[in-house]
Amino acid sequence: MSKKVKSIQENGQNLEYISNDSWIADCQIIANAIRRRVLSHTVKHGGYLSQACSAAEAFSYLYAKGMNLGPSKGPLLPPPFSGSPSIKNREQKSGMLYNGERHPDRDRFFLSPTHYALTLYAALIESGRLGERSLDQFNVDGSTVEMIGGEHSPGHETNGGSFGQTISQAAGVAWARRKKGEKGIVWIFLSDGECQEGQTWEAIMTMSFYRLDNIKIIVDANGQQVDGRTDEVMALRDLEAKFKAFGANTKTIDGHDLKALHKAFAKPHLDKPLVVIANTEPYRGINLLKDRYPNLHYVRFKSEEERENYAKALDNM
Amino acid sequence: MSAIEIITRVHAKSIEEWGQSNPNALVLSGDLTTSCEVDGFRDKFPDRFLSMGLAEQNMMSFAAGLAREGFIPHVHTFAVFMYRRALDQIEMSIAYPNLPVKLFGFLPGVTTPGGASHQAINDIAVIRSLPNFTILETGDATDVESVIELANSINGPVYIRMVRGALPRLFPAEDKIELNKARVISTGKDIALFSTGICTEEAMRAVELLRICGVSIQHLHVTTLKPFSDPQVISAIKGARFGTISMENHCINGGLGTCISEIIAEHKLDTRLMKIALDDTYLQGASTKFLMRRYNIDALALITQVEKLIGKKLNVSEEDLRQARIDKYFNEKQQEAL
C-alpha cells in the first residue's frame, strides 16, 4: 500500500500535499533562524528567549506554510509610535499590515500572548515581511516594536497583554467573517499559561456554540510561566480533554514536528473550532537554558560569564 | 402640573426600529434579554441577535471583534456586569482600539431592588476615566427613544446608562437627546440645578414647589457625562445668585457633581456647589422610592439643599411633595422583576 493511500485511509481525507515534504526542510531552516535571531537579540539585551525555543516551529509553520496571507503591506522599517487609536489620532497604522491586506479569502492571525512579540518579529523577518534592522528598535522608547506588542506592533492586530481577551476578539472576528461570507481562516496563537484565565474557556464555549469552524488555534504547551512550571503554579491537567469538553475539535502533537503540525491542522473540524495542542520544550535548540529551568519566562543574565556562554552558544548555532 | 404620559418598554420598540433600518446593527445579550428589552429584536432579527450567556468578559471582547469587521454591536446587560465584571475587557478590547461598540447598561443606582450586586452606583465614575469613551445617561421616554441614534452617530465606544420599564415622557418626542447639550427645563436666577437620570423627574416636582415659594431655579437635565463641556453649564452657574446643586442617582465621587466641580474650578466660577448623590456607600435591595428617601437623593433632599443655599427654611413637607407628583410613576410603587 502506498504511503499516500495509507494516509488517506487513516485520516479520512486527502493529504496528498503532505506526501510532498520538501517544504519541511525550508520551514525548519526558518524555525532555526527564528531561534538564532532571538538568541542573538537576547545576548545583547536579555529577552523572551524560551518562547522562541518552544514556538519556533509553530511560527515558521504558520508564516511559511499554514496561513494564507497576502504580501506584507507594512514598511520594512516600522514607523515610530504616533499615539493610541482615538478620534484625534486615526493615523497610527495597525500592526496587522505586516500580515497582508484584509481580503475575504485570506487568513487572519491573532497573537494572544503578546509576550511572544520578539518571536513574532523574528518570524516576520525570516519570512521576509519585516526588515532585520527593525529589531534595533525593539523596546526602544517611542518605537512600535514593543517588548509586549500593542495593536501598532508589527504582526499584531490586538493588544493581547491582558490574557484571554484576544481569543474572544478573534472569535467575534470569525463570527463576523462567516456572516459576511468570507472564506478566510482566523488563526489564533495561544500559550498554555493563559488557559488558566476563565475568559479563554468562555471563548471556546462561544466558538463551539456558534459552530465557528473557521477558527484554528495553536496552543504552545511549553509547561512554564512566569513563576515557574505550570504544573506547580496552577496545573492545567488534561488540557486536550478540557478543550474537547468545551466543544472544540482537538489534537495533541509534538510541537517541534512540522509534519505533525501540518497534519494536525489538516484535520477536518466541521461546526467546531480546531485546537491543536503543541507540546513543546521551552529550551529546545538552546540547551544552556536548561540550567535556568524552570525560571525561563524572561532571560536576564546574572553575570557577564553567563552572557558569554550564551554568546558562545550563538556562535555554535 | 399636567398629567405626564407614561410609556412602557420604550427601548424595546426603538431598538427594533433601529434594527429594521440598520442591517449592520447587532444586539448582544448576557442572559438578560427580556430584562434589557431586546426580546423583540431577538424574535424579529434572530440572525443579528447573539445570545452570549453568562460570560460578560467574553461578550465584551467578542463585541470588539464584531466591530473590527464593520458591524455595530449593541451590548445589553445590567451595568454592573459591564463596568465591574468586565472592565479590563471594556478597556483593552473596546476602549483602547476605539471601536464603535455601544454598551447599554441597565439598572443604574436605586432603580433595582436587586441589592448591591445589581445596583450600578459608580459606573459613571469608572467609565469616565476611560479614554475614547462617550457616556450618555437617559432619564425619560424621549431620551431612551432617541439615544440609539445618538450613540450610533458617535464613531467610537459609547456607554449608555439606561432606564427601562414604565417611563415618564418629560420632554416632547421631537426634542431628541443631543450630545453634550443639556435640556433646559426651567429658568431662574437663584439657583443653578443640574440633574441626571431619574433624579430629573424628582427634581421637577421640587422645582415646581420652590417656584411657588419664590425661589427661581435654572434647571438643566444633563444627558452627556463625557465629554462634559456644554457651555450652558457655565452660563447657568454664572447666572445663579445663591449657588449650584447637582443631583444624581450615583455615588458622590466621580459622577455629575464631580464633573460640575471640575468645571467650576477650571473656569474659576464663584459659586458654592451642593452635591446630592449617594454618599459613598453601597445600598440594599429595596424599592426605588424607599432608597431615594433613605439615601437622600429625592425631592425632599433637594429642598434641604436649597434651604441651605438661600439660608432660610421653606416649610415644604414630604406631603407637599407627594401632592406635587407630576406623574403616577412612583405612586404605583412599581418594582420590576429582574
Cis-peptide, bond into residue A113, ω within 30° of zero = no
Q: Are B126 and B226 in the same domain?
A: no
Residue A81 lies in a domain: no
Q: Residue B119 CB: number of other CB atoms within 10 A? A: 26
* CB A236 within 8 Å of CB A191: no
Same domain, B194 and B270: yes
User: Taking CA atoms, what residue in B is nearest to A89?
Assistant: B98
Q: Within this chain, do residues B124 and B225 fall inside the same structural domain, yes or no? A: no
Q: Does B21 fall in a domain?
A: yes
Q: Return the ∠ at Cα B295 (arms to B290 and B299), rounded to 5°.
A: 75
B236 and B309 both lie in a single domain: yes
Q: Please give the tally of structural domains in chain A.
A: 1
Residue range of the domain that includes B316: 183-323
Task: State how far residue A166 is from chain B, nearest Cα, in angstroms.
Answer: 7
C-alpha–C-alpha distance, residues B301 and B247, integer Å? 9
pLDDT band at B323 (very low <50, low <70, confident <90, very high): confident
* Total structural domains within chain B: 2
By Cβ distance, the residue of B53, B60, B69 closest to A173 is B69
Q: Which of B92, B97, B132 sits opposite A162 (nearest CB)?
A: B92
Q: Please check whether residue A2 lies inside any domain of the structure.
A: no
Whose grid coordinates read 432617541? B146
Quick check: is A5 in a domain?
A: no
pLDDT value, residue B327: 52
Q: Do B164 and B200 fall within a single domain?
A: no
Q: Report which residue type is found at B29.
A: S
Which residues on A lie below 8 Å from B30 (Cβ)?
Answer: none
Q: Would B261 be classed as within a structural domain?
A: yes
A-interface mutation test, from B58, B90, B101, B130, most A Cβ less than 10 A away: B58
**Option in A180, A198, A206 nearest B62 (CB):** A206
Q: For position A153, which CATH number holds?
A: 3.40.50.970
Q: Over 50: is that where the pLDDT of B213 sits?
A: yes
Three-state DSSP state, A201: helix
B24 belongs to a structural domain? yes
What pLDDT band is residue B238 in, cutting at 50, 70 and 90? very high
Query: Which of residues B338 and A316 earns the better pLDDT score?
Result: A316
> Is B175 within the bounds of a domain?
no
Contacts of the segment A35-39: beta carbons below 8 A, 24+ positions apart: A35/A284, A35/A285, A35/A286, A35/A317, A36/A314, A36/A317, A37/A122, A37/A125, A37/A126, A37/A132, A37/A135, A38/A118, A38/A119, A38/A122, A39/A286, A39/A310, A39/A313, A39/A314, A39/A317
- Which is nearest to B71 in space by CA: B97, B102, B40, B35? B102
B51 and B164 belong to one structural domain: yes
Assess if residue A9 is contained within a domain.
no
Give the pLDDT band (50/70/90) at residue A247. Answer: very high
Decide which of B138, B168, B198 is a domain's last residue: B168
Residue that finishes a domain, picked among B112, B143, B168: B168
Q: Is residue B1 part of a domain?
A: no
**Chain A interface residues facing chain B, Cβ-Cβ under 8 Å?**
84-87, 151, 157-159, 161-162, 164-177, 179-180, 198-199, 202-203, 205-206, 209-210
**Quick one: pLDDT band at residue A13, thresholds 50, 70, 90?**
very low
Do B41 and B19 contact (CB within 8 A), yes or no?
yes
Tell me if the bond preceding B227 is cis, omega within 30° of 0: yes
The residue among A106, A148, A169 with the most chain B CBs within 10 A of its CB, best to mutate, is A169
CB contact under 8 A, A172 and B89: no
List the CATH number of the domain containing B115: 3.40.50.970
B153 and B200 housed in the same domain: no
Check whether A263 has a pLDDT greater than 80: yes
Is residue B54 scored above 70 in pLDDT?
yes
The pTM of this model reads 0.93
Residues B45-67, mean pLDDT to the nearest whole number:
98
Q: What is the pLDDT of residues A265-299, one digit of tens each?
A: 999 999 999 999 999 999 999 999 998 888 888 88
A-chain residues near B133 (CB < 8 A) = none
Closest partner CB to B89 (pick from A165, A170, A177) = A165
Instruction: Give the torsion through C-alpha atoms of B239, B243, B248, B251, to 10 deg.
Output: 130
- Is B174 part of a structural domain of the chain? no
B170's grid cell: 418629560
B13/B158 same-domain check:
yes
**B90, closest residue in chain A (CA to CA):** A165
Q: Does B336 reside within a domain?
A: no
Cβ distance of B65 and A175 shorter than 8 Å: yes
Give a yes or no: residue A134 inside a domain.
yes
**Residue B241 sits in a domain of what CATH number?**
3.40.50.920
**For residue B88, which residues of chain A lie inside 8 Å, CB to CB?**
162, 165
Claim to verify: residue B114 and residue B218 sit in the same structural domain:
no
At B331 the pLDDT is 40
Q: Do A310 and A317 form a contact (C-beta atoms < 8 A)?
A: no
B19 plus B99 within the same structural domain:
yes
Say if residue B10 is in the same domain as residue B150: yes
d(CA A186, CA A199): 18
Inform me whether the pLDDT recorded for B337 exceeds 50. no
In a domain, B149, yes or no: yes
Question: Do residues B81 and B127 share a domain?
Answer: yes
Q: Kindly give the interhelix angle for A22-45 and A304-316, rounded to the nearest 10 degrees.
A: 160
- Nearest-by-Cβ selection for B69 from A166, A177, A206: A177
Contact B199, B248 (CB under 8 A): yes
State the pLDDT at residue B326.
63
Would A16 be classed as within a structural domain? no
Range of the domain at A274: 26-76+91-316
Contact yes or no for A175/B62 (Cβ under 8 A)? yes
- Answer whether residue B158 shows pLDDT above 70: yes
Q: Hey, how many other C-beta atoms are within 10 angstroms of the C-beta on B179? A: 15
Query: A274-279 and B191-195 as β-strands: parallel, antiparallel, unpaired?
Result: unpaired
A–B interface: beta-carbon pairs under 8 A:
107
d(CA A168, CA A165): 5
Tell me: the pLDDT tens digits for A170-227? 999 999 999 999 999 999 999 999 999 999 999 999 999 999 999 999 999 999 999 9
Question: Residues A82-97: pLDDT tens digits?
Answer: 999 998 887 778 999 9
Q: Flag if A158 and B97 touch (Cβ within 8 Å).
A: yes
Specify the residue for cell string 465629554: B227
Q: Do B155 and A84 touch (CB under 8 A)?
A: no
Contact between B110 and B284 under an 8 Å Cβ cutoff? The reply is no
pLDDT tens digits for range B265-310? 999 999 999 999 999 999 999 999 999 999 999 999 999 999 999 9
Is the pLDDT at B235 greater than 60, yes or no? yes
From A165, A176, A202, residue closest to B71, measured CB to CB: A176
Q: A168–B61: do the CB atoms touch at under 8 Å?
A: yes
DSSP for residue B195: E
Residues 6 or more apart from B169 whose CB is under 8 A from it? B4, B5, B6, B7, B140, B141, B142
Q: Residue B34 contacts by C-beta under 8 Å, 6 or more apart in sequence?
A: none
